[in-house]
Amino acid sequence: MKRISSFIIFTMAAGSLFTACRKADEIKRNPANTLSDIYATKDGNGRDRLFNPRYSNDTIYFDIPYYFPEDSDNEMDLTKIILRGSVPSDSYITPAIGVFTDLSKPYTLSIVSGTGAVKKYVVMAKKVGNLSLTNVKVKYTDAGGAAQELDGVLQPSGEILFYVLPGTVMNNTKVTYEINKHSTASIANDAAVDLSQPLPLVVTGKDGVTKTYTLKTAEPIKLAYGIGINRQLWAKAGSDFGFTANNEVSIAVSGDHLILVRRTNPSKFSVYNRFTAAYVQEMYNPFGSQLSFQMVEDTVGNLLAASWAPKNAKFILYKYKNALDGAPVKLIEWTNNNPAAITLDGGVGRRVNIYGNLDGNAVIMAPAGQSNIIFRWRVQNGAVVSQTPETLTYTGLANGAANFGFYAEAQPVSAGANADYFINYQQDIAFVNGATQARTIAFANEVANFGIFHMPTAYVRFNNANYLAIVKYVATYDLNRIHTCLFDVTNTSRLNTSSADPNYSTFNVFTSAEQNGTLNGNGTADICVGFSQNKERMQVYTLLTNGGIVAHEFTTYAK
């Protein structure tokens, strides 16, 4: 053991001897002396990067807002600016930064490298006014007397464009905008303007510097697909239409008219101008004392008025050429006694949907209340194929549904035999095989899609896209708060798109602001769609029972 220990001691001593004889490595100094970063802040903001620099060779410029925050009255003091930044390793900056610095005059900084090389920078600052112009809008009165508003779109050139659709008449035009409280503008806020020619608007900052913006109208670019610019056309409360409790339940479009169905006894069909909401007249009601809850339009403006038919009562459909037709023709009369298997409500006529042209080919569908039964009639060459409907048994009830409930809508998507259709009831919105009645694909079962309840449905084609328009109820089971929603259903394989999908906005392409009213115990509402003659504009009308009617317009022009 002693011999081994002696060997270890000798070896360690020898190692120490060799180490002591080795020359120490030379430490190389870093020659870099270029400023890595610099920014400015103020007292009380720690290391917050409030103000960024502009560089010009070895000169660093800071534009310091005259007031900070810019909408406050706290004027900045250039003698108390704090600079912060970073330099290369092994270098240092002089004078030291991170303390109050007087930038009211040129200030020199030196970066000294590890080798002693010096790089000088001159820092200069000035207080600048705020020249921003935001939230620019033009308010005007259109040809129909309705108040309208257009948002200005700022271009990099300083032009502010108002995209005006062809044929738009702008009366009593006024401009509104937002600027910094310490700045001024050459045009007063809410002043009358003439936009027939480009109009300069000059903003002057606190420092006296100016910036000229140009207000200008422009025709938007027409889209090859889908909806573009949209606006709220008008919104009217129930009192504007003489609503009574729970009675206004359906709307339809024909030509320039909007028809409001009132399920009073007898029922009434009130006609309004659909662009201005001005009252026109009452339609002739052929039902007498038999109630009507529903009227729908076909693709060319013919109207179908439906009677309400409890089990074993007569379900009748009258066809009107238009809203002013005083001699409607009875299209269908059928006794609602089929099938016997319906043991609950079984009523028909609360909801009726159509696809096609009643003067040519069309499909009409009406669900039976509290069942999974849908009745379907076909029209060929302007004539009903059979007064007795096909009885369809829907096999795809989902999400715990025992039946459709009272209000379901079956919306066909073609006028052919065995037309596929959408079914919309409280628990589901699904696309259905019209031959087998099997649920093919459905909306994701999410509140983002459905709200807490949903039902009214319209299906249209506009600018090479197919849209399903629905009303969804939100927030409360008083069912008095709704949104109008448009879904692009051109590609039916996308129907189950989740609201978490990054591309969800290309599926749910529009959700309106909230429309509200008073307690709506029956949960009734309706939605219908009209078009301008050139099909460049689409109008969507939404009725909320005990609330009112809101009209939105969609165009084929880019936003």
Same domain, residue pair 97 and 141: no
pLDDT value, residue 338: 76
State which of 128, 161, 182 marks the end of a domain: 128
Stretch 487-513: mean pLDDT: 97
Query: Would you state the pLDDT for residue 14?
Result: 42
* 99-102 contact pairs (CB < 8 A, 24+): 100/43, 102/78
For 459, the domain range is 247-524
Q: What is the CATH number of the domain that holds 205?
A: 2.60.40.2340
Return the amino acid letter for 124.
M
| Residue 55 and residue 70 share a domain | yes
Q: How far apart are CA 109 and CA 107, in angstroms?
A: 7
- Alpha carbon 88 to its chain centroid, in Å, reads 49
pLDDT of residue 419: 96
Residue 549 lies in a domain: no
Find the CATH number of the domain harbouring 321. 2.120.10
Q: Quick check: is 158 in a domain?
A: yes
**Residue 124 pLDDT exceeds 80:** yes
> What mean pLDDT, rounded, does the chain reach?
92
The domain tally of the chain equals 3
pLDDT of residue 11: 38
CB 498 within 8 A of CB 446: yes
Confidence of residue 263 (pLDDT cuts 50, 70, 90): very high
Residue-level pLDDT at 18: 44
pLDDT band of residue 17 (cuts 50, 70, 90) is very low
Mean pLDDT of the region 184-209: 96
Please provide the distance, in angstroms rounded to a whole number, between the alpha carbons at the two ends of the chain: 93
Confidence band of 23 (pLDDT split at 50, 70, 90): low
Asked if the model's pLDDT at residue 448 lies above 80, the reply is yes
- Domain end (from 71, 105, 128): 128
- Over the stretch 78-113, which tens digit does the pLDDT of each residue have? 999 999 999 999 999 999 999 999 999 999 999 999
Same domain, 110 and 164: no
524's tokens: 């009734």
> Are residues 96 and 205 located together in one domain of the fold?
no
pLDDT surpassing 50 at residue 366: yes
372-393 average pLDDT score:
97
| pLDDT score at 25 | 64
Which of 18-27, 234-243, 482-491, 529-538 shows the lowest per-residue confidence on average (mean pLDDT)? 18-27
Return the minimum-mean-pLDDT range out of 5-19, 306-320, 361-375. Answer: 5-19
If asked whether residues 110 and 208 sit together in one domain, one would say: no
pLDDT above 90 (res 469): yes
**3 pLDDT tier (thresholds 50, 70, 90):** very low
Could you tell me the maximum CA-CA distance found in the chain, to the nearest angstrom? Answer: 129
Q: Which regions of 219-299 does DSSP assign to beta strands (E)?
A: 230-237, 248-254, 257-262, 268-273, 279-282, 294-297
* Percent of the chain at pLDDT exceeding 90: 84
Please work out, in degrees rounded to the nearest 5, the angle formed at the alpha carbon of residue 415 by the alpha carbons of 409 and 416: 115
pLDDT tens readout for residues 398-407: 999 999 999 9
Q: How confident is the model at residue 9 (pLDDT cuts 50, 70, 90)?
A: very low
Is 398 inside a domain boundary? Answer: yes
Q: Does the pLDDT at position 143 exceed 90? A: no
Check residue 342 and give its pLDDT. Answer: 80
Same structural domain for residues 80 and 206? no
pLDDT at 340 over 80: no
Residue among 120, 100, 4, 115 at smallest CA distance from 58: 120
The residue whose two tokens read 């809101």 is: 550
Q: How confident is the model at residue 240 (pLDDT cuts 50, 70, 90)?
A: very high
Predicted confidence at residue 13, as pLDDT, reads: 41
